Structure 1
Amino acid sequence: MDCCTNGKSPHQLVEVVYKSTIRDDYTTRNTHKLHPENSNWKTVYLYFCALSSNLAQMTCGLMFAWISPMSIKLLSNNTQDNPLATPITTMQLSLLGASQPMGTFVGALMVANICDLYGSKRCLTVAYSIMAISMTVVAFSSSITVYYLGLFFCGTTMGAISVVLPIFVGEIAEDHNRSKISCMVCTGCPVGTVLCYLIGSYVSFRCFNSICAVPAALNALCFLFLVPQTPVYLVKTSNPAAARRVLGNVRNKTGKEIGEEIEKIQRDLRETYENHSKSGCTGILTDRCSRNGLVVALGCYILFATSGVSAFTAYLQPIFDAAGSSLSSSTLAVIAAVLQVISYASASASVEKWGTRNTMLYAVSSSCVPLALTGLYFYAKAIDPGTMKGYVWAPVGGLNLFMFLNVMGTATVPLAVMNEVLVDRVKATANAVIVVVSGIAMTLAVFSLPLLMERIGLAWCLWLYSMNCLIGGAFIYFVVPDTRGKSVSEIQEVLFNLFAR
């Protein structure tokens, strides 16, 4: 085209208007530069739907540490602190401590089939509501029996959330952000734990338990009025029109792109039902992909229990007391909890950059070094306490660095891995199995640490868990596949050939 027309200077720019002679639908599809096809658009509403679950996760974090500040009040003779008429006995304290874990196992086992029938959104709404009601009843009661039941039902909802929340995130997220969002939905848990350490000793029993109920109640209201049912469940229940409306809200996409995603969901569900015709435990046992997926996910969750994070977190204060730091053990425990919050938050960024497999591999493998060095400090101190007086910072720094690295790789990333490697047909049942088995492993780890410390010493306990981190790193390297950006069918193909390589 000649730009030097109508007497214009050859160096003078002129406005040229192009009129397309191509069909309008083609032009719209190929010239919509502000919104290209197959772009990884992020919407605020999608993240709100997923991350609002952090409210209930705050209640879970408060409940994980509930027994620590509340036991002091219930054992007190001061009626202003103790809502009961008399201090509780040691047996009653043990029953209070066991009520929540027992409920967790029950909730994980009973929710699998319910989630398949009614969908993850409804199950989470009911679970959040029961959690809020349970803690409200505990707050305004003066009966130890009510405390048992309240903590048991709260534990039941925590077990149900552990099973259903990964399903909800997996069904509402996209392939490119599924792992990142899976990590982000757990950030509220350590925040709740920090909150418990900060305020648990300074507020009344009624006030603290009321605070525990508030985040779960807000989460229930969010899911009831603001969060939609997942598009996968709507397609599964033959309601593609509703699924299209939901996708229009949680995806910043054109109508054509939404239609393509509906077709992709239908295709993935059809392939899942064709290749995994059986559901539940039968489907896991008879299907090769499901078995391999369960091995991968369960191994990652057991790694969290056996790497030492859960055990050391439970006994942070006595371990810091043994280190001989000038700071109080309670202050150091709060610092460690804050670092865990930062670690939880960093996990999603690491997963987005390196993927789930590499994040776990780097974090777990590197965490064995500060743990081994901390063990060396306590070994030298046991031989000659005077030689380590100038290095009291070493165990504090070493344990905090270990927990920062290890939590980044084992606390939230296994949730993302579980979301990736388990198909919809068996996910609820497999999640329940994983929660129960890993819960038992975690209970044994926490239970055995004081006995091991008494029998072989703290240094050897640290070295033992350091060796477990190395073994866990080897498991990740040889077994856990890289699922970054892969679709459901592509991940299933990788799992089918997992142990054939």
Structure 2
Amino acid sequence: MPDQPASSSSVDVEEGSLDTPSPPEIPEKNGRPKQLHRIETVPDIKRDMSGITTQYIATGIVNLGAFAAGACIAWSSAALPLLTTEPLEDDNISAEANVTHRFTLTESEASWTASLLCLGALFGAVPTGLISESFGRKKTLLYLALPLVVSWTLIASTPNAYGLYVGRFVGGVAVGAFSVGIPPYVEDIAEKQLLPTLANFYHVHLTCGILFGYIVGMILNPSWLSFLCASVPVGFFVAFIFLPESPVYLMSQGKYNEAKAALRYYRGIDNDVESEFKALKENLRNIAKVTFKELFSTKATVKALIVSFSLMIFQQMSGIYPVLFYARKIFKTFSITMNLPSAAIILGFCLVSSTYFSTMLLKQIKRRILLVLSFTMMSISLGLLATYYHLRASNIWENNPWVPLFCLCLFVSVYATGVGPIPWLMLREIFPKNVTRRATAITAGVHWFLAFGATKLYQNLVDQVKPGWTLWYFAIICMFGAIFVYIFVPETKGKSVEEIHRELDGQKSHVHIIELKSVSTT
């Protein structure tokens, strides 16, 4: 009797197969073809939320750390005008909004308050790679929420400038650590075809955090502004705690069962991960770890470091961080009569939209072309702004608030489409895989050191040579950056690391001659 239902059902299936076509086969994923069996009227939500969607959501959650870093950057623009000794002169702000604070800052103290974030980031960026390799990618990123919360608490409650210094420095440590710790985690969880898109989430979230900081800056109270910014790392901690550890890190620690479970989480429980798991295991076995000293052992790697350092020098000496840190103050310098927080929000919106737009440009246009165009347009926009300042100071041109606002929006927009993301993107393309994370740590340290210097010295330049000549200095740096890229920076789009290194060594033509001779002799 038990055999009869089975036989009858098999007959039904065979008869049905003669009348109805077989269900379509799902394309292969991870080396195994799959077939979907479900009732057509019921949406397959579980399958919809697996694989690609899970990777997008997880990448968005981990990049809340970048969002928090952006809020730290924007805080200076919103809070420092409220804390400095200069009174607010915006007619659109009511007198009742100019609340009395516990203390005021001098211009020198304000510049230290802004720039110490970048100095703290220097001390957070360099050791993060080593810490994450021994402590874990997830734990390292997760516990970075703590110094950020401590930082915002200090900033909101301090009775003097020294509390601001400590708070900004501590927050900077987390900001620098996020810049080095987030990309490797995303690289570990992303499928190869999704990595270029998911890697750009960091820059998009960073600029969204800056826009968020400009928006909440409409609250004319530094303490409430700090508490609102503190909500971001809290949200990051609560959301990120539910995600698994990086599969690659678990595998490097010999936790193969946990690594396979984490990989299955990011690929979907109905997908086969065996082939990818074996490939990752083989890669870990073949990749030899290098020390910081060994980065300088080969000529090609040294040249790659020089290119990376130089791009960061021109990126930071372009003046982007002074513009973002002192946005409201710059608007006031150019007598922009519209509501200052609204002008900062317009600037932030241009930054976000251009960063998002750059994700599409990077898929279509070569890196060198984008860099040269970006540096050139940045130089032109700063030159126009400097010219406008001199003409207005000489009473040759009447005040027009839309001219400086347009120039600054153009400056941040072209920065976001090329000079901003490409130096970070090229780190993955110009170095071998076993060297990338060490090179990223050093390059990030150079980045934040230069950001500290540019942000701190900006006020000194303004005091010594006035804003007009300061802008000309930044414009000239951008033009030299375009020339440097055109002459020295290799194209990396669509090329392997070996091809790029042969080009850096000047062996490209020599290799082709050898290949040609070998073909002719055979």
Query: Is this a same-fold pair by TM over 0.5?
Result: yes
Q: Which is worse superposed, 334-343 or 174-183?
A: 174-183
Matched to 2:254, the amino acid is: S
- Over 3 Å counting, the alpha-carbon distance change for 1:96 and 1:363 in structure 2 is closer
Counterpart of 1:446 in structure 2 is 455
- Over 3 Å counting, the alpha-carbon distance change for 1:111 and 1:54 in structure 2 is closer
Counterpart of 1:250 in structure 2 is 266
* 1:197 lines up with 2:203 in the alignment: no
* 1:53 lines up with 2:62 in the alignment: yes
Q: Helix, strand or coil for the counterpart of 1:185?
A: helix
Counterpart of 1:310 in structure 2 is 321
- Over 3 Å counting, the alpha-carbon distance change for 1:237 and 1:333 in structure 2 is same
- Over 3 Å counting, the alpha-carbon distance change for 1:495 and 1:260 in structure 2 is farther
Cα-to-partner distance string for 1:116-155 (whole Å, 9 max, x where unaligned): 2123222111112332244245545657665443333211
- Over 3 Å counting, the alpha-carbon distance change for 1:317 and 1:82 in structure 2 is closer
CA distance in 2, matches of 1:29, 1:96: 54
CA distance in 1, matches of 2:457, 2:33: 64
Counterpart of 1:150 in structure 2 is 167
Q: Which is worse superposed, 141-150 or 164-173?
A: 141-150
Contact 1:182 1:412 in 2 (8 A): no
CA distance in 2, matches of 1:176, 1:317: 41
Alignment of 1:67-466 (within 5 A): 67-71=76-80, 84=102, 87=104, 96-97=113-114, 99-136=116-153, 138-139=155-156, 146-200=163-217, 202=219, 204-225=221-242, 227-251=243-267, 258-273=273-288, 278-279=290-291, 281-321=292-332, 323-354=334-365, 356-381=367-392, 385-386=395-396, 388-389=397-398, 393-423=402-432, 425-453=434-462, 458-466=467-475
Contact 2:120 2:176 in 1 (8 A): yes
Q: May I ask how many residue pairs the two structures share in their alignment? A: 462
| Structure 1 unaligned spans of 5+ | 1-13, 20-25, 35-40
Matched to 1:269, the amino acid is: L
Q: 1:33: how far off?
A: 8.4
Q: Helix, strand or coil for the counterpart of 2:316?
A: helix
Q: 1:361: how far off?
A: 4.0
- Over 3 Å counting, the alpha-carbon distance change for 1:68 and 1:474 in structure 2 is closer
Q: Helix, strand or coil for the counterpart of 2:209?
A: helix
Q: 1:419: how far off?
A: 3.5
- Over 3 Å counting, the alpha-carbon distance change for 1:477 and 1:244 in structure 2 is farther
* TM-score of the aligned structures, taking structure 2 as reference length: 0.75
Q: Percent identity?
A: 21
Q: 1:267: how far off?
A: 4.1
Contact 1:292 1:496 in 2 (8 A): no
Contact 1:179 1:417 in 2 (8 A): no
Contact 1:137 1:150 in 2 (8 A): yes
Matched to 2:355, the amino acid is: Y
| Structure 2 unaligned spans of 5+ | 1-17, 37-49, 88-95, 509-522
* 1:491 lines up with 2:503 in the alignment: no
Q: 1:348: how far off?
A: 1.9
Matched to 1:188, the amino acid is: H
Cα-to-partner distance string for 1:72-117 (whole Å, 9 max, x where unaligned): 5556899x95674x55677765654454333222222332321221
RMSD of aligned C-alpha atoms? 3.8
Q: Which is worse superposed, 468-477 or 121-130?
A: 468-477
Matched to 2:317, the amino acid is: T
Matched to 2:250, the amino acid is: L
Q: Helix, strand or coil for the counterpart of 1:299?
A: helix
Cα-to-partner distance string for 1:288-312 (whole Å, 9 max, x where unaligned): 4543443343333223212232233
Contact 2:75 2:214 in 1 (8 A): no
Contact 1:180 1:351 in 2 (8 A): no
- Over 3 Å counting, the alpha-carbon distance change for 1:87 and 1:430 in structure 2 is same
Cα-to-partner distance string for 1:154-213 (whole Å, 9 max, x where unaligned): 111112112212222222223333233222222233333333333335254443222121
Q: 1:323: how far off?
A: 4.2
* TM-score of the aligned structures, taking structure 1 as reference length: 0.77
